[in-house]
Amino acid sequence: MADDAGHKAMLYFLEILMNSPAPLTISQLAGRFGSRNFTSEMRQAAGGNETGLKKFLQKYPSLFTVNGNLVVILMVFFFFLLIIFNHWTI
């Protein structure tokens, strides 16, 4: 898949934000570029710097809300994931 690294990066940041008790800044997320689990291909796909990361996250408006320098995930998507993975039933 041509954009496999982009999808992995998107899922990586989604997981980081899902596990965060508060919104994170673009700077905090960009700091994760150096993580052992974050490959150079993922970094390139995610924009490689804070400005690029902001643009990358804005490509997924159904998942991420970027407000100034803060990033949050949309809770509707989070509940959708819970339902899909049978952690919660309606």
Phi-psi map region of 38: left, alpha, beta (phi>0 left; psi -120 to 50 alpha):
beta
Half-sphere exposure of 90 (CA within 13 A, CB side): 6
- The pLDDT confidence band at residue 41, using thresholds 50, 70 and 90, is very high
- pLDDT score, position 1: 45
User: pLDDT by residue (tens digit) across 15-28?
Assistant: 899 889 899 999 99
User: pLDDT by residue (tens digit) across 51-89?
Assistant: 999 999 999 998 899 999 999 987 655 666 666 665 544
Q: What is the 3-state secondary structure (H, E, C) of 30-47?
A: HHHHHCCCCCHHHHHHCC
Residue that the structure tokens 């710097």 belong to: 49
Higher pLDDT: 3 or 44? It is 44
DSSP class of 62: T
Is pLDDT above 80 for 36?
yes
From the list 25, 37, 23, 38, the residue with the least C-alpha distance to 69 is 25
